[in-house]
Structure formats: structure tokens, C-alpha cells
Amino acid sequence: MTTEPSKEGYADLGATTREATEIAETSMDIVRRFVPHETLSDRIRGKAVHATGDIEFQHLVRFENDPVRAGARAVLDGAPIVTDITMVKAGITGRGHDCEVRKAIGAGAELAAETGMTRTAAAVLELDRRGVYDDAIAVVGNAPTAALALADCVEQGTRPAVVVATPVGFVKAEESRERVREATRATGVPAITTVGRRGGSGLAAGLTNELIHVASDVRAGDATLDPTDGRTAGGGREG
């Protein structure tokens, strides 16, 4: 049985064999029965459904300040991708981009020990102190306290290229994503978030991978970031 990757249809950046690519293509074909594929935002909504297996999840995604274009441009520029924890970092594809992918967790250990704050919040604050988040693709998929810390940093002048924030759970998760929306609306920083308690590392990685996928399509000439061009979404239109 061949292991050659498919060259046609949906080119999932995680699939490396023909069978895997066929599964990805079939899965996305099913998603598109329920989610439009006309705009760049639709692509993110579709990936959210694909990542969660929940058709209704498309209605829980929120966009601030044109984040898909901003994120794709950042990928094309080779901006660093900074995740909150190892699991999110592990889910970011290594294909289709030249971005450094790094995790925040592990930084700021002394701050966490001194203050008692969570390790992820301390890590975000430490990396922000070093200027890591400016012009970066900032991804939070697990820790609400990391999202809260990142929102504080944005309000205080930090300017990521885009924020993807989908922390999950019953404690501070909804609040943290709302804080990210408030901070990014007020400052003009592009952001993708979700509402409700659901989310998680897999979702954050999936949405970030879709930004990479959009950038790859732009690079190949199959999509455009020009809002006046009818090919914006890759075979659709931007509305």
C-alpha cells in the first residue's frame, strides 16, 4: 500500500500518508455540509467543528479585529508561535511554516514561587517582560490564568500579532476568554476566542493550524488575504 501523500483536495498539514489525507478530506467534506466555506472566518469555524466533533461549536467562535488575516500574515512573516503549555505546542504542525514554536510553561518559576500565582500566569508575565509576545502568535489552550495574564499584558501595551484563546474548564475559563475579548477590542489586537466552558489544547492547536493552512494556501496562490478578491477563502468569497 502506498504511503505517498495525496496532492488533491484538502491538504491537511498533519496528514502524511494517502490514507490519512483521504480521512482528513472526507472529514472536512462532512464538516462543509454543515458549515459554510465562503469566508476566512468560516474556515476557522469549520476547523472548530472538525477539532471538537460538535457541529454546534461553529456558533461559539468569536473574532476580534480581523484575526484570520492577521494570523495568516504573521505565519507568512515567520512570527513565533507561543503556546501556554506543552500539549498545545505538541499539537502545532511542523509543516507549512517557518515559525519558531515555543511554550511559555517553564519560564517564570521564581515569580510563581514568590507570589503563589499559577505557573502558567507567571510564565506569561515572564515572557512578556522579555518582549516575547510582541508581534507573536499567542496561543492559550489550557490555562485560564494564562489567558487572564495575557489580557493584562495586552491592556498594558503588549501587541501580539494575533491571540488564539480557548482555555477550558469550570473555573475562570469563561471569564478569561471574555477578558481577552475586552482587552483585544479595546486595543485593536486581533483575537480568536470561544464562549462557554468548552475549549482546550486540541482546539487551540487546531485553530492555529488553520491559520497556518490559510497562509499555505495564500503562498500557493489558492487563497488571498485581499478582502476585495473573490478567492479569499480558497474557492469562496469573503463576506
Q: In this predicted model, what pLDDT tens digit does every residue of 34-43 receive, in sequence order?
A: 788 889 999 9
At 133-171, the pLDDT tens digits run 999 999 999 999 999 999 999 999 999 999 999 999 899
Mean pLDDT of 61-85: 97
User: What pLDDT sits at residue 139?
Assistant: 98
Q: Which domains does the chain have, with CATH numbers?
A: 57-219 (3.40.50.10230)
Q: Which of 16, 86, 190, 220 is nearest to 212 (CA)?
A: 220
Quick one: pLDDT band at residue 25, thresholds 50, 70, 90? confident
Percent of the residues in the chain that have a pLDDT greater than 70, as a whole number = 88
pLDDT (tens digit per residue) in 95-118: 899 999 999 999 999 999 999 999
pLDDT at 122: 97
pLDDT category of residue 231 using cuts at 50, 70 and 90: low
Phi, psi of 88 (to 5 degrees): -65, -45
Q: Per-residue pLDDT for 3 more than 70?
A: no
Three-class SS state of 18? helix
CB-based contacts of 164, cutoff 8 Å, min separation 6: 67, 71, 137, 138, 139, 140, 141, 191, 192, 193, 204, 207, 208, 211
Phi-psi region of 92 (alpha: psi -120 to 50; beta: other; left: phi over 0): beta
For the chain, what is the mean pLDDT? 88
CA separation (Å) from 166 to 24, 193, 237? 23, 6, 27
Task: Give the mean model confidence (pLDDT) for residues 24-36.
Answer: 77
Indicate the pTM of the whole model: 0.86
Q: Tell me, what's the pLDDT at 5?
A: 33
Output 47 or 33, whichever has higher pLDDT. 47
